[in-house]
Amino acid sequence: MDIAALITWVVTALGGFYMLGTWIQRGGIQQQQSGASRLPAPVIFGHFALAAIGLVVWIIYVVADKTALAWTAFGLLLPVALLGFVMLARWIPVYRDRAGAGPTPAATTAQGAEGTVPAERHFPLPVVLAHGLFAVVTLVLVLLTALGVGGS
């Protein structure tokens, strides 16, 4: 089960890294100053940092097989999940606005001008859904492993 959790965690990280790259590439950092992005940079980078640290702890757990490391990884995943839900809640209105009247794709620059398309609007729905699904599965697998379910 620990290897399954590792695999799901890596897949989740790949989806998250893709969305982080998209957000940065589309000007999300610069949009923080103008308020065009609904995703605060500290939340995004906090989510990323805690998830990456947790993944490293999990890899060490898989190698060392120390229960305390499994619980540490799980403890790191809890705020990661909370920050993820915050970002999801802030992303949903941006996604819904995609279908409404909005600025043209030419207005996607991060100049902070009125009508700038939020960087997170460019997240593909399948990536967002897969990231969330794999994140939930990872959280459950890590918890079950920490509890000793399915262990050797």
Q: What is the pLDDT of residues 81-131, one digit of tens each?
A: 999 999 999 999 999 987 664 554 444 444 444 457 899 999 999 999 999
Question: What mean pLDDT do residues 64-84 have?
Answer: 97
The predicted model scores a pTM of 0.85
What is residue 35's predicted lDDT score, i.e. its pLDDT?
A: 83
| Arithmetic mean of pLDDT over the chain | 89
Task: Give the DSSP per-residue string, 11-61.
Answer: HHHHHHHHHHHHHHHTTHHHHHHHT--SS-HHHHHHHHHHHHHHHHHHHHH
